[in-house]
Amino acid sequence: MSTINGGHYPALSHRGRAVRPDGYAFGGTPDGGIARLTLSDDDRRVRDWLTAQCLDLGMTMTVDEVGNMFALRPGRRSDVLPLAMGSHLDTQPTGGRFDGVLGVLAGLEVLRTLDAAGVVTEAPLMLVNWTNEEGARFAPVMLGSGVHAGLFSRDYANSRTDAAGESFGDALHRIGYQGPVPSGHTRFGAMFELHIEQGPILEAEGFRIGVVTGVQGLRWFEFELTGVAAHSGSTPMNLRHDALRGAAQVIEGVHRIACENVGAVGTVGSLDVRPNSRNVIPGQVRASIDLRHPEDRVLDEMEREIESLVAEVAASHALGHKLERISRTSPVTFDPGCISAISAGAAAAGFATRDIVSGAVHDAVHAAAVAPTGMIFVPSQGGLSHNPAEATLPEDCAAGAQVLLDALLAYDLQC
């Protein structure tokens, strides 16, 4: 059985120039994190780097119409669909060096290891980089894999705009990754995604490997409250229509609704105050709402409570209001065949495992709609993620890559 780089965390190199394993050269920040927003110049550079790595391995690279990248390694058989590994290379604006990156780089290390060992699998192998998993620059989250799975149209994706007003389509074209292949045309027979847990469970319980049985449901909303921008010094308190005061009550209400529904989480993560001037009463606020829970019926109930909350707050402050749901993914249960291949892979590599449901969403959610899919988790130190201090031990990264390799080989035997 091939081992990942002698069991040590793979120090990836590109034609002799060592590149830090996290692609740190592309958007690395002084605090040790990464700021590599989707479709930025740093995203283009890391995509170019990944393409060079894959071509160096004799693979072919296909890019689809929303920039999803699919590198292909031939297998003995050409009559079966490829077995895929993958994740995402875009990050949060103040992201960490492991979220998404680990899954792509570990896949690359698996391919290098097989290449070095001269192992040819029955099925072809595929390495995937999904566009805009984070949804940080262009909402919604998991946009590229969502187009691939038919959840969103290409035109919807291209129409999404960032805070500066640039469209997804223009940014994709500008970095040169608006590929010729229609989304969804590049198919795979199974997908395995290695990812950091982004939560505290594996570390707290002392497990190096998590077998992800599923992912909780997610709903994203945008709400807008419109009052009257007015002078902060000369407008009496009883004559104000302060949009930010209303938003403050919605923010507190989202927290309360999440706490009242056991197992739920709720967050207002972005807030746009206009005109955002010290001596003007805020006339308008736009903000996000992120709700998650393992059951759709609870999310339905929470969505009703959010609708009432926004309407009641607006009425009490005499504000205009809008509430729009911009994304909805139902809870997902992963494929039993992939789960057992991952468990077999972990056993082959000698790691105890713990079943776990993912709190974060992943491109595997959309991959699961089109092919048998499974995920492998490794611990996040302190359970921290979406933060420059995000960290996973090198030996845990190597363990995850080893299980990814062994799971793939176990699944390949079934071909």
Q: Which of 114, 144, 129 is nearest to 191 (CA)?
A: 129
Question: And the tokens for 185?
Answer: 């045309």
Local structure of 323: helix, strand or coil? strand
User: CA 140 from chain center: how many Å?
Assistant: 11
Work out whether 65 is an interface residue with Mn ion (CB under 5 A).
no
- Answer whether 134's CB lies under 8 Å from 92's CB: yes
Find how far residue 242's CA is from the centre of its chain. Answer: 35
Which among 303, 317, 190, 186 is positioned nearest to 246, based on CA atoms? 317
Residue closer to ligand HGY, measured from CB, 4 or 289: 289
Shorter beta-carbon distance to ligand HGY: residue 112 or 195: 195
Q: Of these partners, Mn ion, ligand HGY, none, which one is at the site of residue 361 (CB under 5 to 8 Å by kind)?
A: ligand HGY
User: In angstroms, rounded to a whole number, what is the distance separating the alpha carbons of residues 219 and 214?
Assistant: 16
Q: Write out the binding residues for ligand HGY, residues 234-273 only, by CB under 6 A.
A: none
**Nearer Cβ to Mn ion (101/410):** 101
Q: Which amino acid is at 388?
A: P
DSSP helix/strand/coil, 104: helix
Contact 183, 147 (CB under 8 A): yes
Single out the residue of 43, 90, 99, 193 in contact with Mn ion (rule: CB under 5 A): 99
In the chain, DSSP finds a helix count (H) and a strand count (E) of 11, 18
Is residue 133 a contact residue for ligand HGY (CB under 6 A)?
yes
The nearer residue to ligand HGY, 220 or 351, going by C-beta atoms, is 220
**How many beta carbons lie within 10 A of that of residue 95, not counting itself?**
25
Residue nearest to ligand HGY (CB): 360
Report the residue number, 141 or 410, with the smaller CB distance to ligand HGY.
Answer: 141
Stretch that binds Mn ion, among 3-11, 14-22, 91-99, 242-250 (CB under 5 A): 91-99
- Positive or negative, the CA dihedral 61, 144, 45, 39 is positive
Between 141 and 376, whose beta carbon lies closer to ligand HGY? 141
Of the two residues 109 and 134, which places its CB atom closer to ligand HGY in the complex? 134
The answer to whether 189 touches 97, Cβ cutoff 8 Å, is: no
What track of x and - describes contact with ligand HGY for positions 87 through 126 (by CB under 6 A)? ----------------------------------------
Region at 378 (left for phi over 0; alpha for psi -120 to 50; beta for the rest): beta
Distance CA 53, CA 45 (A): 12
Q: In the complex, what is the shortest distance from the CB of residue 349 to ligand HGY, in angstroms, rounded to a whole number?
A: 26
Residue 21 lies near Mn ion (rule: CB under 5 A): no
Binding status of residue 69 toward ligand HGY by CB under 6 A: no
Residue nearest to Mn ion (CB): 100
Q: How far is the CB of 277 from Mn ion (least distance, A)?
A: 33
Q: Is the distance from CB of 110 to CB of 87 less than 8 angstroms?
A: no
Size of the site for ligand HGY (CB under 6 A): 5
Query: Which segment (45-53, 133-141, 233-241, 275-283) binds ligand HGY by CB under 6 A?
Result: 133-141
- The only residue of 360, 364, 371, 397 in contact with ligand HGY, by rule CB under 6 A: 360
The reply on whether position 100 binds Mn ion by CB under 5 A is yes
Residue of 65, 134, 305, 396 interacting with ligand HGY (CB under 6 A)? 134
In the DSSP assignment, the letter for residue 9 is: P
Among 141, 225, 408, 409, binds ligand HGY (CB under 6 A): 141
Kindly state whether residue 193 participates in binding Mn ion, applying the rule CB under 5 A. Answer: no
For the window 127-156, what string marks contact with Mn ion as x by the rule CB under 5 A? Answer: ------------------------------
d(CA 64, CA 178): 7
Binding region for ligand HGY (CB under 6 A): 133-134, 141, 360-361
